[in-house]
Amino acid sequence: MASLYLSTCRAPVNIAVIKYWGKEDERLIIPTNDSLSLTLSIDDLCATTTIAASPDFSKDRLWLNGKEESTSTERIQNCLRAIREAAASRSSSPNPEWKLKIISENNFPTAAGLASSAAGYACLVASLKNLYGLEGNYSSVARKGSGSACRSMFGGFVRWHKGIQPDGEDSIAVQVAPSSFWPEIRVIICVVNDVKKDTGSTSGMQRSVETSELLKYRIAEVVPRRIEFMAKAIAEKDFDTFARITMQDSNQFHAICQDTYPPIRYMNQTSWDIVSMVHKYNSKHGSNKLAYTFDAGPNAFLFCLEENVPEIVEVLRTQFPSDSTDFIRGMYSDDIARKTNLSSALACELTPLPPGSLKYVITTRAGEGPTPIQEHLTIE
């Protein structure tokens, strides 16, 4: 073999607190509004991508979670083309004309319905950037793979500016605050038992743009105002306001789904049980200590501060009984959580729901953007 260049990165999942829902340009993936998210730690959820470049390869090839997939989709082609052009204009090595082998894996089950495309495309672009030694903000390239992927190019709180240029070159993600800015924030992901296939986000948001009056109002009136309040709440570490806006924005997104014609339903009964549980919890505390947000599926992403995690985990155990030995996963072990006793006032509010409606819970925190690593993936 003449020469082989290798690059491997890990990239994170992100969860939006001001949602992206709607495109102005379908092909370039230019959104109808700005959005804002928190990047989650790659210790608990991540995509890993290895890219090999060699003059001996005859065509680009891609393996996703062990299965060979086509590289000829428009989204993958757009990402590869943009990076190769940037590499060619900087005379980078390896030669950008050499063909690539791309191996990508998620460390979480795709079936869990977590944001795998965001982490996956961010990882593809980060690994390509690393392969060719490129510097700078390549979030607009990740955006061409999947809109929300551009926000996974940075750690901490990230804002995706929709931009004003018709070519989308200024539709980029920018870090608002690093994860170290508010280190006490925790994220508890409730993976809901649900077998139903959802309407994908791409087609769902397209239908909302075509039919929802409420989405027009959201784009013109709500997001421009709300995103500034959200940025301020983050800057002031005002969890009560951060939590309220997060919940309101999730609720508006799902209201738009219902306002879409024909309507789209992502949240199920368990999702709504979680919503009730969060509001009960907050009213017992007299302020918002817990927030929920839901994407294009029934799973809940809960935000809280570290000091409340043991109590919240106990609330989840009480409300959603489970036989599973690894019901609580991620950074907090069952042992830590088991030590907490709920106050009787809180406990009597929580009627246990039928066992098994929550598959498991992942406890995690905010984290960094894509990171190069030295261990490369191989094809089995």
Q: 108 or 132, CB closer to ligand DP6?
A: 108
Beta bridge partners of 61: 101
Q: 16 or 190, CB closer to ligand DP6?
A: 16
DSSP at 297: S
Smallest gap from residue 200 Cβ to ligand DP6 (A): 8
Nearest Cα residue to 142 out of 209, 40, 49: 49
Q: 319 or 364, CB closer to ligand DP6?
A: 364
Q: 7 or 37, CB closer to ligand DP6?
A: 37
Q: Name the token pair of 21.
A: 């829902």
Smallest gap from residue 297 Cβ to ligand DP6 (A): 9
Smallest gap from residue 202 Cβ to ligand DP6 (A): 3
Beta bridge partners of 187: 303, 364
Compute the radius of gyration of the chain from its Cα atoms. Answer: 21
Smallest gap from residue 158 Cβ to ligand DP6 (A): 11
Q: Name the token pair of 358.
A: 């929550």
**How far apart are the C-alpha atoms of 367 and 380, rounded to whole Å?**
30
Tally of helices (H runs) and strands (E runs) in the chain: 11, 17
Smallest gap from residue 374 Cβ to ligand DP6 (A): 30
Q: 19 or 186, CB closer to ligand DP6?
A: 19
Query: CA distances (Å), 269 to each of 112, 252, 346, in order?
Result: 17, 18, 22
State how beta strands 14-18 and 61-64 pair: unpaired
Q: 20 or 327, CB closer to ligand DP6?
A: 20
Smallest gap from residue 304 Cβ to ligand DP6 (A): 20
Smallest gap from residue 151 Cβ to ligand DP6 (A): 7
Q: 19 or 329, CB closer to ligand DP6?
A: 19
Smallest gap from residue 153 Cβ to ligand DP6 (A): 13
Smallest gap from residue 230 Cβ to ligand DP6 (A): 13
Q: Which long-range contacts (CB under 8 A, 24 or more apart) does 165-169 make?
A: 166/25, 167/28, 168/25, 168/28, 168/29, 168/30, 168/140, 168/143, 168/144, 169/140
What are the backbone angles phi and psi of residue 152, rounded to the nearest 5°? -80, 0
Nearest Cα residue to 8 out of 378, 380, 284, 278: 378
Q: 292 or 332, CB closer to ligand DP6?
A: 292
Q: What does the binding site for ligand DP6 look like in residue numbers (CB under 6 A)?
A: 16, 19-21, 29, 35, 117, 146-148, 201-202, 295-296
Is 352 buried (19+), middle (13-18) or exposed (0-12) by CB count in 10 A?
exposed
Q: 171 or 282, CB closer to ligand DP6?
A: 171
State which residue has the least CB distance to ligand DP6: 147
**How far apart are the C-alpha atoms of 360 and 363, rounded to whole Å?**
10
**How far apart are the C-alpha atoms of 328 and 28, rounded to whole Å?**
39
